[in-house]
């Protein structure tokens, strides 16, 4: 058999035009193309051999502020230019990475594939900011942490309640006892400042940090505006009262989260503020997925009773959108887990629902004019007529 040359092996490979999209799995470029340490290359796109080597267009890539692809990673790329266009095999296809392809199988977390992919696309683009909106306890923080792990990033969370005021966003002076027992004031960084310091350390420059600001809309408007300037403004740094400047390094990606409902929701922000975020809405698990989740957490829970309990929980969730009831919130997945915990211990279903669901609402269960009373009535009606429920 005649030995096939590299040129002949690539003879049947497709041509790619400038502007075309390629799915590329990169490998280490030992020659360090363009003098860049840790550079990557590829000899195929979408599983098909290419006639020319695929390299990163470093100038175009720098403008995106995306991380440099690593060996073994698969990225969707755009062809920026082709060198030595007169030759079919010599030269290179120079591409600009657009978004990293990831696996969307998250352990113990339900994220629809399309939502997970959308989140990773936004998070990897430093010119965009991701905002997760969903009911309290739906798992926004857990989902964000799972996506960060999938991307191989460090996950850090800052509560909006802790940086509610502008001064608290930076840190504060705290009284302490110094040498000789004298009282003195000591500067203590806020969690936000501490995370930025961590990302700035030389030993962490190779790491990528996802910094999530939870309960973002609990932050006062002046602090929120100042924070947005830090996240996406020209001067990406925190100016501390002592004159110190803490820069926002390139290895930090920001995101935020807020609850849906009557209070502290992104919907209460003005249109200009909302326009600065890519808002992704998260929903509760589908019935069957949530049932499996609860039974996995509590294997001794009776499946038939838990199935009915989830029908009732979803009935209460639907009532939050009913204008006649206008509940302030919907039962979270944690509430469903609590029901499973009670049922696995032999607690009666009615009692489990009262303690896990009704008690989450204000007022008394025997007062129909309160939220607790409205929820108690919903539960009682569904327990009497369980077949009325739909999954």
Task: For the chain, give the mean pLDDT.
Answer: 82
- Name residues of the chain where pLDDT drops below 70: 1-15, 32-38, 102-108, 233-234, 260-274, 387-391
CATH number at residue 26: 2.40.50.140
pLDDT given at position 286: 92
Domain shared by 92 and 124, yes or no? no
Residue 7 within a domain: no
Of 230, 252, 281, the residue at which a domain comes to its end is: 281
Domain shared by 143 and 210, yes or no? yes
Rounded to whole angstroms, the Cα distance separating 310 from 286 reads 10
Domain shared by 292 and 277, yes or no? no
CATH number at residue 192: 3.40.50.300
Domain shared by 90 and 197, yes or no? no
Domain shared by 227 and 251, yes or no? yes
Contact 185, 176 (CB under 8 A): yes
Domain shared by 165 and 268, yes or no? yes
Of 281, 298, 333, the residue at which a domain comes to its end is: 281
pLDDT given at position 15: 61
Domain shared by 181 and 209, yes or no? yes
Residue 6 within a domain: no
Domain shared by 72 and 153, yes or no? no
Q: What's the 3-state SS for the chain?
A: CCCCCHHHHCCCCCCCCCCCEEEEECEECCCCHHHCCCCEEEEEECCEEEEEEEEECHHHHHHHCCCCCCCCCEEEEEEEEECCCCCCCCCEEEEEEEEEECCCCCCCCCCCHHHHHHHHHHHCCCCCCEEEEECCCCCHHHHHHHHHHHHCCEEEEEEHHHHCCHHHHHEEEEEEECHHHCEEEEEEECHHHHHHHHHHCHHHCCCCEEEEEECHHHCCHHHHHHHHHHHHCCCCEEECCCCCEEECCCCEEEEEEEECCCCCCHHHCCHHHHCCCEEEECCCCCHHHHHHHHHHHCCCCCHHHHHHHHHHHHHHHHHCCCCCCCCCCCCCHHHHHHHHHHHHCCCCHHHHHHHHCHHHCCCCCCCCCCHHHHHHHHHHHHHHCHHHCCC
Most distant pair of Cα atoms in the chain: their distance: 90
Count structural domains, the chain: 3
Contact 366, 376 (CB under 8 A): yes
pLDDT given at position 287: 94
Residue 213 within a domain: yes
Contact 255, 108 (CB under 8 A): no
Residue 129 within a domain: yes
Domain shared by 224 and 176, yes or no? yes
Domain ranges, residue 27: 13-101
Contact 297, 340 (CB under 8 A): yes
Of 238, 259, 281, the residue at which a domain comes to its end is: 281
- Phi and psi at residue 176, to the nearest 5°: -150, 160
Domain shared by 135 and 220, yes or no? yes
Residue 108 within a domain: no
Residue 294 within a domain: yes
pLDDT given at position 103: 65
Residue 252 within a domain: yes
Domain shared by 60 and 124, yes or no? no
Domain shared by 273 and 300, yes or no? no
Residue 107 within a domain: no
């Amino acid at each position: 058999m005649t030995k096939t040359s590299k040129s002949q092996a690539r003879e049947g490979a497709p041509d790619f035009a400038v502007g075309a999209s390629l799915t590329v799995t990169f490998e280490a470029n030992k020659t360090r193309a363009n003098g860049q340490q840790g550079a990557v290359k590829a000899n195929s796109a979408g599983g098909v051999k290419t006639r020319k080597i695929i390299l990163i267009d470093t100038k175009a890539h720098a403008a995106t502020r995306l991380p440099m692809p690593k060996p073994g990673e698969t990225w969707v790329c755009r062809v920026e230019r082709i060198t030595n266009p007169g030759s079919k095999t010599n030269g290179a296809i120079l591409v600009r990475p657009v978004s990293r392809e990831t696996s969307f199988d998250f352990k113990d977390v339900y994220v629809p594939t399309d939502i997970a992919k959308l989140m990773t696309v936004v998070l990897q683009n430093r010119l965009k900011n991701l905002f997760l909106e969903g009911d309290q306890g739906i798992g926004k923080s857990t989902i964000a942490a799972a996506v960060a792990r999938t991307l191989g990033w460090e996950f850090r969370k800052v509560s909006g309640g802790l940086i509610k005021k502008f001064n608290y966003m930076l840190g504060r002076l705290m009284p302490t006892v110094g040498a000789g027992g004298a009282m003195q004031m000591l500067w203590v960084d806020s969690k936000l400042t501490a995370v930025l310091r961590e990302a700035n350390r030389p030993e962490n420059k190779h790491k990528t940090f996802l910094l999530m600001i939870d309960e973002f809309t609990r932050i006062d408007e002046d602090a929120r505006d100042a924070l947005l300037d830090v996240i996406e403004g020209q001067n990406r740094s925190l100016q501390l009262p002592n004159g110190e400047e803490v820069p926002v390094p390139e290895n930090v990606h920001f995101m935020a989260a807020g609850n849906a409902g009557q209070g502290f929701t992104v919907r209460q922000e003005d249109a200009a503020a909302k326009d600065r975020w890519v808002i992704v809405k998260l929903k509760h698990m589908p019935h069957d997925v949530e049932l499996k989740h609860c039974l996995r957490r509590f294997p001794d829970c009776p499946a038939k009773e838990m199935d009915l309990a989830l029908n009732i929980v979803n009935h209460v969730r639907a009532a939050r959108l009913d204008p006649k009831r206008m509940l302030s919130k919907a039962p979270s997945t944690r509430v469903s887990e609590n029901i499973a915990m009670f049922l696995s211990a032999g607690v009666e279903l009615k009692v489990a629902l009262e303690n896990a669901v009704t008690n989450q609402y204000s007022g008394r269960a025997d007062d129909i004019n309160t939220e607790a009373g409205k929820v108690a009535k919903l539960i009682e009606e569904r327990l009497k007529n369980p077949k009325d429920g739909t999954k």
